[in-house]
């Protein structure tokens, strides 16, 4: 697969390479490595295929920011993920743009806030026309592939309106938020009286069937169920079964299967073109159940005390109160639920970490560790009973903050390896980072995030953001109806800096517009005391509203003209005859009015 | 062209008609008319083609709200436009969404704020995917045609990305903001050393050439130029020539030509399908010049005193100061410029009004006045020296307020004929009104305006808006550079209620963020005293920022799911197996877990 570069080609090819930041960076990296490692000069000419730099964009689903040993978990050891953090940078304040799978992912994939791309909940289609990392990277010569979950719903109506066929290459990409599909499996093969929640084909279910697992939905019957005392299915949907071993060979469960798919993808690449691979795992997302040996690796003594206080339920914010009293919230009020779920959640994370070990070993063996950026993150967290809540949705750290570890193989990143960055990072920054890594200029009239490269290279970042924004649209939930809100008003907005977290709730209750929520992150890092009704905090609340106002006025839809294009176009119209504000000819450079002078022509009779 | 309805078809067709609000309304109107006019019952069955209701959406370019006699102009008599106001409703507080041709029109055509559709200045393409009135009306069986100007720039890059060919029907409509083209002529055939400002074909120039007008650009040389004392071209681009008669037969000038094109369009329709025709005139937009007899119909004694005060130039807001000192602003400081331009501007408006007379006479003769909604409006105003400004752009009434007259032929509108509505209306309301008139439900997750039908029918409108919003993006102007702003910060936002007008300027000067501007419309209707720096107005300024904040958080991009769809979808996932929050089976309706029960199947060996 490696083709030698003919020496006589060098003077022709080098100028081309030099215009391409991606290749130039790669050549610099090679040169650097050669000097350090005393690789003979000869080898450089063999290495053109190595100038490919790839991106392995790993996402777990519902992985809390603090369930990793590198993030300080006291019992859960994740040495493989920690190993990546040691080789890269771990961001300790990374917020997702919306703590719900679909909306969060569409923000990751577009680099845009949920209110900008509009796919604000699971199953709300990403509207045709929104640009994705796939669109940006393909322009730079990098392909963009999916292995796993996206939660993308295609905007079929929009595609039909624009005459875009799903069967065309373009239509397939539009339907899949910009990815080419190696394997798409959203990993939620729930099934009820009205049929499957997700009606696509499931490569994972097909895999299980090919291995001899019987039935229509082995995802449920084996990977996500155990067996009870009577030999009946003990479905993982019911949390009391969480501690049971899933009725499946560990290697056939979802996480190892996906790892093998990712490796199979990487092996399918011949090195001609750089790629981004979105390796997108469904776990540790519910159903909470895992096969042996992970099912009983952790026990009651490993379950941390919940981050919650009785005071939270006294005078609660009306929106918070709804969430604390919904089905999942109430379930997690019960200690038996936490005791059943959390050890298994830890087992699921442990399995993920072990699979990272498998994957990283492969990358090292294959040489890909040297030319591939690796990211580990998640689409949102999991309350697990903190704040009397389950699942995700509200905007406490347990839900809105995620792990974010980035390993950049470039020698420029050597300075920052193993560091922890405490700056405020948003999930939309990843799209900008990828474009930057692929050698492009970040189109900041489209992508709202900012490249994290300076942090990866240990550089100063003057003017970095002072606050992060997240949103949650709960119009599709019963909480919206319970509060008597119109769907358009069922929205929360978070503004967080390093000291304070502020949450504005749109809409109103019987007593008028909802008050905001406010947490003092310095003195109350557990976010236990909501100061939103406090008279002593009007100043910080005003500041947060000012920031939210500025964010609301952000430029998010002027995506067809870049700042540079606008500046360049400024004087064009004058040179095309738009001569404004002139009383007589003497006020205008004669050249500009060249078409407006001369003998008056004769009118026809 | 009218086909009789066979009597035996009636029982088949009537139930179909009854499901269609458009046809039902039309039948009701016919029935009403029949009763009033004693038209024999027999005729009803002949009248199916009359059930078509059409929309004639007339737009002038740069027509001030107050240069009409029905709006109180002391010297300019516009009896034909007044006639329409007598038959319909005149809205006295209609604001455009942005006082610049392109951005304003894209708001009219999409029913969305400029920050929502993103085409925030002339020549910024409307991004592919934005829905237009054409898209909405076609769904309702109404075609949407253009005769005249749109200032639309196609998003060629977006179309290429999505594989949409301009040669396809869909591509042609996407390129033309949803219209089918009867004649497109943007009417600005400016030409300079770098070529034409607008490189499309000009049907108007082609018309002039076909009539024997010589040269490459008779639009300039004849329609927009006079002849000076030496027999040279006296170009209308130079305002000292404004008073000269344009060197063209009046009937060949732009306004009468467009009227004839509109009539030709209407005659081309066979009555089978209802249509919207956007009759979009370029005048009274500059170049300020008009053929006889309009060129000297008004004189110095008809020029109103400028609405301006020396105080405006003391301690001016930095952004306002830039506009007052730009080329056009400075030109209009000169009395000779106002004296030259304003009588001719009045002549241009008078010609427009006379052409409305021609058009309305035709509509009455042809019967179309009885089945056609007629709108007269403009895309923005013209300062004409008020506030030491020329052109448009800033957000005083002279620039941001426009005429808005709507005639609804329905009998339901009889109650409101000849009334003036003082409520706050936005140009985006027109798209909603059209959808409503065409029998559709306004898709309020896409169209941000609200239907004006209640006002047209003399009904109460509880909960009507308390404030109107307009924006101006001046990133493409030298004023942005002069202020040292990044293009993304060169934006103004207006919030106006009936008492106050507030303008926020994004960005900052050397002394920090710009202060807002504020005008007391009750006590200072001329907007002469900017109270934005006043300590005594912090309360109203806070309220205006609160309103702007709420507007900034508006739901503008969740366009793929309606409120009704969201409500309807709420419980769907539970019936498709998403069983959240259950500890054991007893907590869930047995029907929901039907797929999660039974004997555990055997694993393969």
Q: For B67-77, how does the pLDDT look when each residue is reduced to its tens digit (9 = 90+)? A: 999 999 999 99
The whole-number pLDDT of residue A572 equals: 87
Helix/strand/coil for A163? coil
- Nearest-by-Cβ selection for B227 from A228, A481, A600: A600
Per DSSP, which regions of B89-236 are E strands? 89-91, 94-95, 143-148, 180-184, 191-192, 195-196, 225-227, 233-235
Tell me the shortest Cα–Cα distance from B255 to chain A, in angstroms: 18
Q: Note whether A575 contacts B548, CB cutoff 8 Å.
A: no
Mean per-residue pLDDT, B147-172: 97
- Which residues in chain A are closer than 8 Å to B390, comparing Cβ atoms? 580-581
Radius of gyration of chain A from its Cα atoms, rounded to whole angstroms = 27
> Left (φ > 0), alpha (ψ -120 to 50) or beta: where does A351 sit?
alpha
Q: Note whether A124 contacts B233, CB cutoff 8 Å.
A: no
Model pLDDT for residues A249-280, shown as the tens digit of each residue: 999 999 999 999 999 999 999 888 999 999 99
Model pLDDT for residues B27-54, shown as the tens digit of each residue: 444 444 444 444 333 333 333 334 559 9
What count of residues does chain B have? 605
- Which residues in chain A are closer than 8 Å to B222, comparing Cβ atoms? 601, 603
Query: Encoding tokens for residue A447?
Result: 């992508």
C-alpha to C-alpha distance for A486 and B558, rounded to whole angstroms: 14
Q: Note whether B191 contacts A566, CB cutoff 8 Å.
A: no
Query: Residue B520, Cβ neighbours under 10 Å: how many?
Result: 18
Q: Note whether A120 contacts B603, CB cutoff 8 Å.
A: no
Tell me the residues of chain A between 148 and 187 that have a Cβ less than 8 Å away from chain B: 155, 157-158, 161-164, 168, 170-171, 174
| pLDDT greater than 60 at residue A50 | no
Q: Note whether B125 contacts A561, CB cutoff 8 Å.
A: yes
Q: Is A199 on the interface with B (CB under 8 A)?
A: no
What is the 8-class DSSP label of residue A246?
P
Is beta strand B419-421 parallel, antiparallel or unpaired with respect to B89-91?
A: parallel
Mean per-residue pLDDT, A480-494: 98
Q: Nearest-CA neighbor of A502 among A477, A537, A535?
A: A537
The model carries a pTM of: 0.92
Query: Encoding tokens for residue B574?
Result: 């539970």
Is beta strand A275-280 parallel, antiparallel or unpaired with respect to A143-148?
A: parallel
Q: State the average pLDDT for chain A.
A: 92
Q: Nearest-CA neighbor of B503 among B487, B514, B488?
A: B514
The whole-number pLDDT of residue B52 equals: 58
Q: Nearest-CA neighbor of B51 among B274, B368, B362, B276?
A: B274
Model pLDDT for residues A104-114, shown as the tens digit of each residue: 999 999 999 99
The ipTM assigned to this model is 0.91
Mean per-residue pLDDT, B478-482: 97
- Nearest-by-Cβ selection for A237 from B194, B340, B593: B593
Tell me the residues of chain B between 122 and 141 that have a Cβ less than 8 Å away from chain A: 123-131, 135
Reported as a pLDDT band with limits 50, 70 and 90, residue B270 is confident
Mean per-residue pLDDT, A8-21: 42
Mean per-residue pLDDT, B99-128: 98
Q: Note whether A591 contacts B193, CB cutoff 8 Å.
A: yes
Residue B563: which residues within 8 A CB-CB, separation 6 or more? A475, A486, A487, A488, B444, B445
Residue A56's φ and ψ, nearest 5 degrees, are -110, 105
Considering Cα of A96, then A101, then A104, then A107, what sign does the dihedral take?
positive
Residue A184: which residues within 8 A CB-CB, separation 6 or more? A146, A148, A149, A150, A176, A200, A203
Q: How far is CA A126 from the centre of its chain?
A: 15
Residue A29: which residues within 8 A CB-CB, separation 6 or more? A409, A410, A411, A412
Reported as a pLDDT band with limits 50, 70 and 90, residue B413 is very high
The whole-number pLDDT of residue A225 equals: 98
């Amino acid at each position: 697969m490696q083709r030698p570069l003919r020496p006589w080609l060098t003077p022709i090819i080098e100028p081309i390479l030099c215009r391409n930041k991606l290749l130039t960076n790669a050549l610099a990296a090679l040169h650097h490595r050669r000097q350090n490692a005393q690789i003979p000069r000869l080898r450089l000419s063999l290495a053109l295929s190595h100038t490919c730099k790839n991106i392995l964009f790993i996402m777990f689903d519902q992985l809390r920011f603090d369930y990793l040993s590198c993030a300080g978990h006291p019992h859960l050891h994740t040495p493989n993920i920690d190993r990546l953090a040691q080789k890269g940078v771990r961001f300790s304040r990374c917020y997702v743009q919306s703590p719900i799978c679909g909306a969060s992912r569409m923000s990751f994939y577009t680099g845009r806030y949920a209110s900008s791309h509009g796919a604000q909940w699971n199953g709300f289609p990403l509207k045709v026309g929104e640009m994705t990392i796939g669109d940006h990277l393909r322009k730079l010569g990098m392909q963009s592939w999916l292995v796993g979950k996206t939660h993308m719903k295609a905007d079929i109506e929009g595609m039909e309106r624009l005459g875009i066929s799903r069967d065309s290459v373009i239509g397939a990409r539009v339907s899949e938020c910009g990815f080419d599909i190696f394997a798409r499996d959203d990993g939620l093969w729930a099934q009820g009286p009205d049929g499957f929640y997700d009606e696509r084909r499931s490569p994972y279910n097909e895999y299980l069937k090919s291995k001899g697992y019987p039935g229509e939905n082995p995802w449920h019957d084996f990977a996500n169920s155990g067996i009870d005392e009577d030999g009946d299915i003990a479905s993982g949907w019911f949390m009391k079964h969480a501690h049971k071993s899933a009725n499946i060979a560990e290697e056939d469960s979802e996480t190892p299967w996906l790892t093998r798919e990712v490796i199979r993808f990487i092996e399918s690449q011949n090195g001609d073109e750089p790629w981004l691979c979105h390796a997108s795992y469904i776990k540790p997302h519910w159903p909470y159940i895992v096969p042996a040996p992970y099912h009983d690796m952790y026990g009651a003594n490993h379950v941390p005390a919940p981050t919650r206080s009785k005071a939270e339920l006294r005078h609660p914010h009306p929106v918070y109160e709804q969430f604390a009293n919904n089905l999942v919230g109430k379930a997690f009020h019960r200690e038996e639920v936490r005791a059943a779920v959390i050890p298994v959640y830890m087992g699921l994370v442990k399995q993920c970490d072990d699979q990272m070990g498998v994957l990283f070993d492969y990358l090292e063996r294959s040489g890909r560790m040297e030319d591939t950026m690796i990211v580990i993150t998640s689409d949102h967290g999991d309350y697990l009973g903190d704040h009397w809540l389950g699942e995700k949705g509200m905007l406490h750290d347990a839900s809105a903050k995620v792990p974010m570890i980035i390993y950049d193989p470039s020698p420029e990143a050597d300075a920052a390896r193993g560091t922890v960055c405490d700056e405020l990072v948003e999930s939309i920054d990843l799209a900008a980072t990828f474009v930057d890594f692929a050698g492009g200029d970040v189109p900041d009239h489209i992508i709202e995030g900012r490249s994290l490269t300076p942090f990866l290279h240990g550089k100063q970042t003057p003017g970095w953001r002072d606050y992060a924004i997240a949103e949650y649209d709960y119009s599709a939930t019963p909480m919206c109806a319970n509060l008597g809100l119109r769907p358009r008003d069922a929205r929360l907005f978070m503004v967080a800096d390093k000291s304070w977290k502020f949450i504005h709730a749109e809409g109103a209750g019987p007593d008028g517009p909802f008050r905001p929520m406010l947490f003092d992150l310095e003195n109350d890092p557990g976010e236990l005391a909501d100061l939103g009704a406090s008279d002593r905090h009007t100043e910080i609340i005003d500041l947060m509203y000012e920031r939210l106002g500025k964010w609301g006025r952000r430029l998010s839809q002027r995506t067809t003209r870049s700042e540079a294009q606008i500046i360049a176009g400024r004087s064009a119209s004058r040179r095309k005859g738009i001569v404004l504000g002139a009383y007589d000819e003497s006020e205008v450079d004669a050249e500009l009015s060249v078409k407006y002078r001369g003998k008056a022509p004769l009118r026809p009779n």
